[in-house]
C-alpha cells in the first residue's frame, strides 16, 4: 500500500488547523455545516450532472484506490516473463499452458494463454493493445470525475459566499450580527478552494499516476509475451524489458544462460 496520498493530505489538513490556531482562531469556526453542504454536496451534484451514473459509481469505487492503491512492481513481472521465456525455449510454448493458470496478473495470463493457443503475433498484439486502451479509458473516468470536482468546488464556494452575503444584507439593521455573518459567508469560499486543492485534485492526480504506471506495466508485459512467443533468448528478453524502466528503477540483470 502506498500511503503518500494519506500522508500528504494529512500534512495539508494539519498545517491548515495549526495555522488557524497560531493566528488565535478557533478551528471549529471553520467547520460550519451550511457552507460545507453547499460546497461538498453541490460539487458532487454538478459533477454527476456532467456525466453518466456509471461514471459516478466508478469514481466511488476508485476512491479507496487513491488512498491505498499499490504501485505495480515491474521487476517481479519481468522475472515471471523471463522464467516463461526459459521454459518456452527449452520445452516449447505448450509447456506454459499449466504455468499460465497460476499467474496473478490477468493481463499477462491472458497474453500467455493466447500465445499458447497459437494466436498470430499481429493478432496477439492487436488484442493486447486493445486491452491496454480499454484500461486507459477506464482509468480516465474516475480521474476526470475528481478533476472536475476540483474545478467546480471553488465556484460552488463563491456561490455559497454570495448566498451568505445576501443574508448579511438582510441583517444590516442588526450590527451585532454582521461580523459573524460575514465571517460565515467567506467560510464557503475557503471550503471551496481548500477541498479542491487538498482533496479532489490530489485524488485525481493520484489516480492518473496509478493508471499511467499500470498502463506502462501492461505495455511492458505485451512486449514480454511477444518475445516469449517468438522464442527469444531469455537474457535478451530480460534486457529488453528492463530497457522500458527508468535507469534508477532497473535492477542488475540476472546471470542467465543463453
pLDDT of the chain along its 258 residues, tens only?
778 899 999 999 999 889 888 988 788 888 888 889 999 999 999 999 999 999 999 999 999 999 988 877 888 889 999 999 999 988 888 889 888 888 888 999 999 999 999 999 999 999 999 999 999 999 999 999 999 999 999 999 999 999 888 888 888 777 777 777 888 889 999 999 999 999 999 999 999 999 999 999 999 999 999 999 999 999 999 999 988 888 877 776 554 444
DSSP the chain: ---HHHHHHHHHHHHHHHHHHHTT--GGGT--HHHHIIIIIHHHHHHHHTS-HHHHHHHHHHHHHHHH-----HHHHHHHHHHHHHHHHHH-GGGHHHHHTT-S-HHHHHHHHHHHTT--HHHHHHHHHHHHHHHHHHHHHHHHHHHHHHHHHHHHHHHHHHHHHHHHHTTTT-HHHHHHHHHHHHHHHHHHHHHIIIIIHHHHHHHHHHHHHHHHHHHHHHHHHHHHHTT--HHHHHHHHHTTS-GGGPPPPP----
The distance from CA 101 to its chain's CA centroid, rounded to whole angstroms, is 28
Contact assessment for residue 168 and residue 185, using Cβ atoms and an 8 Å cutoff: yes
Q: Taken in order 96, 98, 102, 106, is the CA torsion positive or negative? A: positive
pLDDT above 70 covers a percentage of the chain that reads: 97
CB contact set of 237 (below 8 Å; sequence gap of 6+) = 81, 82, 85, 224, 227, 228
pLDDT at 111: 94
pLDDT at 23: 84
93, three cell numbers: 510454448
pLDDT at 27: 82
pTM given for the model:
0.85
pLDDT at 178: 78
- Radius of gyration over alpha carbons of the chain, in Å? 26
Between CA 242 and CA 235 the distance in angstroms is: 11
65, three cell numbers: 484506490
pLDDT at 257: 43
Quick one: 33 exposed, middle or buried, by C-beta within 10 A (0-12, 13-18, 19+)? Answer: exposed
pLDDT at 253: 55
* CA quadruple 148, 154, 159, 164: dihedral, nearest 10: 140
Amino acid at each position: 500500500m502506498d500511503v503518500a496520498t494519506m500522508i500528504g493530505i494529512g500534512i495539508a489538513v494539519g498545517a491548515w488547523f495549526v495555522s488557524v490556531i497560531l493566528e488565535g482562531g478557533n478551528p471549529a469556526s471553520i467547520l460550519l455545516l451550511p457552507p460545507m453542504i453547499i460546497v461538498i454536496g453541490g460539487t458532487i451534484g454538478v459533477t454527476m450532472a456532467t456525466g453518466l451514473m456509471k461514471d459516478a459509481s466508478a469514481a466511488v469505487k476508485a476512491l479507496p484506490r487513491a488512498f491505498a492503491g499499490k504501485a505495480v512492481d515491474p521487476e517481479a513481472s519481468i522475472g515471471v516473463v523471463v522464467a516463461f521465456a526459459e521454459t518456452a525455449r527449452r520445452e516449447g510454448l505448450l509447456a506454459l499452458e499449466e504455468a499460465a493458470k497460476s499467474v496473478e496478473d490477468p493481463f499477462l495470463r491472458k497474453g500467455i494463454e493466447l500465445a499458447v493457443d497459437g494466436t498470430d503475433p499481429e493478432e496477439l498484439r492487436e488484442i493486447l493493445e486493445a486491452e491496454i486502451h480499454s484500461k486507459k479509458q477506464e482509468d480516465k473516468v474516475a480521474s476526470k470525475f475528481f478533476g472536475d470536482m476540483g474545478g467546480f468546488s471553488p465556484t460552488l464556494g463563491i456561490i455559497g459566499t454570495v448566498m451568505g452575503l445576501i443574508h448579511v444584507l438582510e441583517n444590516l439593521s442588526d450590527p451585532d450580527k454582521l461580523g459573524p455573518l460575514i465571517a460565515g459567508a467567506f467560510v464557503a469560499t475557503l471550503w471551496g478552494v481548500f477541498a479542491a486543492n487538498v482533496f479532489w485534485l490530489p485524488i485525481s492526480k493520484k489516480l492518473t499516476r496509478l493508471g499511467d504506471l499500470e498502463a506502462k506495466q501492461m505495455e511492458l508485459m505485451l512486449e514480454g509475451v511477444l518475445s516469449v512467443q517468438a522464442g527469444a533468448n531469455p537474457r535478451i528478453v530480460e534486457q529488453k524489458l528492463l530497457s522500458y524502466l527508468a535507469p534508477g528503477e532497473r535492477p542488475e540483470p540476472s546471470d542467465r544462460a543463453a
